[in-house]
Structure 1
């Protein structure tokens, strides 16, 4: 089986998968973003399409007061008797552990049933021989715990019990229970979600154990290797179309010398599994380049906001943006990118190198184009017009410290452009960082490069936001109109959409 890795490029961590009537459905974490918990569909584990989201209404997760990095952590998707289930923990507030149901995985999904007895993270859902639902989860503090639950009411049918302590590695979490033959298998993540991440497994005669650990644990880990995909862990098992077994799991694709920085965050990967003496054996993941993309979105199209690629922070896209006659309009409410609820409408960066550009009319407000990791780690190009000039400001925020560079262009519409270039291969000085970020503006017959800096500080390893880079539109004040949003991406060494025939001038530097 040809494996495209990553399965879902860009910020798509904690994958869980289920096979129903020859079709695969996969769901991933979204943390503070809405819509939440995207569902993807495939018939061959190779070609995937988004079909919907579990959480399309704010009340389903209640993220309004949930701080970063809380939100929708590590869902599990399962199916039984014609019903699809997604169980998830809304961490650091919100609704806690919630189970959602739908007869169609594309939605709509119901409002969800809270399960108060589950006070930890990463809940799994399985059923024992008499049809009773079992929720297995990672406790806080660890280890792995389990409780029988009435899914209709969310009530616990027993006291929560400790299930397995793990193998001794740090932070056993992300449990998934699977039955195979006479054994129940308990798959867990260990070692944290950084370079020590690993997948371990135990088996027992019942979903309650007792548990025998695989003598060759961990099943898979990239820790201490030069594998180009690192942080492998948080896995789920599924049968393949040819009758074999595969594992979906998260990982990162770090760039630069030493494989140190991952701008895209944690992505979803797949590894074939073979069984040896009743234990699964998975190979390290080898990445395959995501196909190049060159896409221009018609922001004036009537259905633009129904596109499943949009994300907003703690609000739905329709709460943030409206379709105008000649583009999307975002109305700022005074909240900037450092706010927990910015006026932001974004899409995942899917390639290791990307150029994104948009035309902006800020004559009635202030806003622009941003790359967001969280409230403290972002960079942006911002336009502000007063009728006589349009001031464009490049902004870079790192751990709450902001630097700005500004230039004045003529009145009216301007084009804002970000070029996000991965570092070169090999042992050269330019390969030591996280790639080059170039912020520029086009307007008044000029192409001005305002800022250029090392992207290492806007990566998973530095920001620790649990998400990844999301590229999008934002407004702070007034009404800002956007048109011609273009994304060009490649995983290769080249520069996507490079234009070498335009004059480059340097903008003025300002403090922040």
Structure 2
């Protein structure tokens, strides 16, 4: 029996995993999006159910100053003595911190900020009760730095010590420390998170070193290989109840040539095997495939998610995300029954601010997203619709707006400093169905007066123009409903009756 990679598709990078009994929990980075740190549950390491986020309150997550691909960087999740701990870095506000809970599906604590600089923090609980905190830093040369901390206060109990510089690859980061048998293993990422990415490992008889490098490094990489999966690295180990070891890690799936990826960095899974001299190797000699043997895993598939969200629940599902820190008056599920309402803010999609924006990750190359929207703008500049969004300088949108007193449907493209309304047409009906259809190469944008009608296709945009290789950053495409007043608060709300996301792969 085989499973398919990635195990969590779309923009879900920097995975970290822990086990409690027969349950696995996994977290990923979220950058400038909120809620922060998506949280997943699994029974088999392959099928992952989104169950919420670790950072859901303003006290936990301040993204008011988050730049593009700023905000929340790589998290680590660990389970120790009945408690779950998650540590991460808010690079735009506060640095490294820890939150904890005894129920990962429930409420996580307020943050405990840690007196140690760097990014990509790791928690390790020593046999002697000491708590070791490791980060990526470049104080005395880039590498993994470590101190012992007071878990209750975040204060350091020892000096910060450089424990390993890696094997010489650029950007040694994402340290994770494990006790396996007589050894302490230190897993890191090197080579940068692009096409030179790799995972390397060292070991020691003490948690603070000295560490010796594995003679087989890198233990995971696809650099210089012609594979459909690229940029593999930034991993974390977990042991199953039967004693086997597995690794989760990030990778990308570029489309076309030259290679470009727009879905973002995704979460992959591979087995860990051990050499005769006690060193780990990830996958098949350090490489992975889209189909991998599920040896030792009792696969438990999950029901397929519903295509349509009718917005009937009291809360949005975990699939939905906001750009930076949302202001609650700008969106609501309570204004109209079974409806998401957006009140446009002065910010536009071009501003790097906080527009009224509720989106979900694009998780499949071929997919269709549609929404039924009622919107009657009363003032020029008021606008609402659907956007395919990479960042404020790279996005496409189809929307209803008011131009010189006339209500219109428009299709617009923003590619770096180039900006153009590609198409526009008058629109007088009370509601509109907006549709985005994607394949590996292009997005098509259309509209109709009802969901039982084929869209009138109104414009197209290349996927490659929204790829990270073009747009920069560490995120992936978000398909979102949005509203704006284009410099002032919109007086007219946009009501979204439903939203569809359907995989066509």
Common fold by TM > 0.5 = yes
- Mapped partners of 2:479, 2:291: distance in 1: 23
The aligned counterpart of 2:297 is none
Instruction: Give SS of 2:469's match.
Output: helix
User: What are structure 2's unaligned runs of at least 5 residues?
Assistant: 293-300
The aligned counterpart of 1:31 is 31
How far off is 1:302 after superposition? Answer: 3.6
Instruction: Give SS of 1:155's match.
Output: coil
On the 8 A contact 1:317/1:345 being kept in 2, the answer is no
Q: Provide the alpha-carbon RMSD of the alignment.
A: 2.2
Instruction: Give SS of 2:73's match.
Output: strand
How far off is 1:240 after superposition? Answer: 2.9
Instruction: Give SS of 2:107's match.
Output: coil
- Mapped partners of 1:381, 1:337: distance in 2: 12
Matched, 1:338 2:338: no
Q: CA deviation digits over 1:180-229, x for unaligned, max 9?
A: 11100000000000000000000011111111101110001011111111
- Within the candidate set 416, 441, 445, 2:434 is matched to 416
The aligned counterpart of 2:411 is 394
| Superposition TM-score, scaled by structure 2 size | 0.89
- Mapped partners of 2:344, 2:434: distance in 1: 18
| Superposition TM-score, scaled by structure 1 size | 0.88
How far off is 1:243 after superposition? Answer: 2.4
The aligned counterpart of 1:509 is none
The aligned counterpart of 1:286 is 289
Matches within 5 A, 1:79-478: 79-91=79-91, 93-116=92-115, 118-140=116-138, 142-257=142-257, 260-276=259-275, 277-283=277-283, 284-288=287-291, 295-299=307-311, 301-303=312-314, 305-316=315-326, 318=328, 320-323=330-333, 324-325=336-337, 327-339=339-351, 340-364=353-377, 365-384=382-401, 390-405=407-422, 406-422=424-440, 435-443=441-449, 447-477=455-485, 478=490
How far off is 1:294 after superposition? Answer: 6.8
User: What are structure 1's unaligned runs of at least 5 residues?
Assistant: 423-434, 492-512
User: What is the count of residue pairs matched by the alignment?
Assistant: 474
On the 8 A contact 1:293/1:488 being kept in 2, the answer is no
Q: Aligned pair in 2 of structure 1 residues 37, 241: CA closer, same or farther (>3 Å)?
A: same
Instruction: Give SS of 2:464's match.
Output: helix
How far off is 1:395 after superposition? Answer: 1.4
- Mapped partners of 1:210, 1:174: distance in 2: 18
Larger displacement relative to structure 2 (19-28 or 189-198): 19-28
